[in-house]
Amino acid sequence: MSVSFFPNGLCFNKVLAAFIVAFTLVLAGCGAGGESNEASAQVSGDGGDSHDETGDAGNTDPDEVPEEPEQFVLNLVSQPGNVTINEGDTYTFSVAVQNDLPITVTWYRNGSVVQSSASTSFNASEQGTYDCAVTDGQSTLECDSFSLNVTVSQFVTITTQPSNQMVNEGVDVTLSVAATGTGVLNYQWYFDGAAIAGANAPSLVLNSVTVADGGEYYVVVSNTGVSTTSNSAQVSVAANTLADALITWSRPAQRADDSALAESDIQAYEIYYAESVNGQMQQIDTVDASELDYVATGLAAGTHYFSLVTVDTSGLKSALSTPVSVTVN
């Protein structure tokens, strides 16, 4: 656009400048300005939406603390400790618990469960290492390990006592005791209060007793911890009453083959002796053919057995005769 004529004598340059300014203002108010207003309104509207969203999120007070889950108490107030008991005894272990919910207490011995229940106590008699665990379903507490030591009781019991004996001189006497106890049992026999050397067995054998062996015998049985003494056994030894016995026989008239045996054909008789009817006969003497009896001396009380062998002049011997017995009271 160009202007070549301006009335009222206006300067062309000033008029043109004013016109441009006015035209620019019109454009700003009607065009660009309007668009700017619409855009501004749009932004304002979006801002309103943002304000609403902020208002929705604001329903939670930033100063309000979230509510925590309810807490239940479970505490170990006291625990068991180490204990020593005697064999055969029982000890009750217990644990004190502070709790809100019902609890289960599990007891262990050497790692194995021995009891699981609501009880806070446990009866124990076996040696070992124990521990326990307490739970209320929400949490679990474990107690410290503790031990139960069992002391084995030492004992010795005599079950069979030695018995009194009355014997004659020359016989063997056996005194015996039977005992039970813990560990290895030791024996010591005594005679009239003095220990008998080497008499350290459950039985005491006295060989060929004499009157001097008569007296009081007892035994002490012991282990590493205790000892017990048996009843006393009285051994009475009667002195032998020595006696003489007259043995007589008739002269044989026949040989084993039934042939005649003359008196002149007999040279001697051999005397044999045994302590029992089935005992081995031993020759004790020889007498001339003229003798038909024999005196056995120094016989102790009891029964004695004698037999005879006939010897002829040629040295032939008969079989042993049927034994005869002699009893000395």
What fold, for 74-151? Immunoglobulin-like (2.60.40)
- State the Cα–Cα distance between residues 296 and 285, nearest whole angstrom: 10
For residue range 167-190, what is the model confidence (pLDDT) as tens digits?
988 899 999 999 999 889 999 999
% pLDDT > 70, the chain: 81
Provide mean pLDDT across the span 185-208. 98
Three-class SS string for the chain? Answer: CCCCCCHHHCCHHHHHHHHHHHHHHHHHHHHHHHHHHHHHHHHHHHHHHHHHHHHHHCCCCCCCCCCCCCCCCEEEEECCCCEEEECCCCEEEECEEEECCCCEEEEEECCEEEEEECCCEEEECCCEEEEEEEECCCCEEECCCEEEEEECCCCEEEEECCCCEEEECCCCEEEECEEEECCCCEEEEEECCEECCCCCCCEEEECCCCHHHCEEEEEEEECCCCEEECCCEEEEEECCCCEEEEEECCCCCECCCCCECCHHHEEEEEEEEECCCCCCCEEEEEEECCCCEEEEEEECCEEEEEEEEEEECCCCECCCCCCEEEEEC
Given a cut of 90, whether residue 152 has pLDDT beyond it is: no
pLDDT at position 232: 97
For residue range 59-116, what is the model confidence (pLDDT) as tens digits?
555 667 677 777 899 999 999 999 999 888 999 999 999 999 999 999 999 999 999 9
For residue range 235-265, what is the model confidence (pLDDT) as tens digits?
999 887 788 999 999 999 999 899 999 999 9
Q: Name the segment(s) of the chain with CATH classification 2.60.40.10.
A: 74-151, 156-238, 243-328
* Sole residue written with tokens 């009896």: 293
Given a cut of 90, whether residue 40 has pLDDT beyond it is: no
- Return the CATH architecture of domain 156-238: Sandwich (2.60)
pLDDT at position 45: 41
Confidence of residue 147 (pLDDT cuts 50, 70, 90): very high
Average confidence score pLDDT of the chain: 85
For residue range 77-89, what is the model confidence (pLDDT) as tens digits?
999 999 999 888 9
Q: Taking the model in full, what pTM does it have?
A: 0.42
For residue range 17-27, what is the model confidence (pLDDT) as tens digits?
444 444 444 44
- Return the CATH architecture of domain 243-328: Sandwich (2.60)
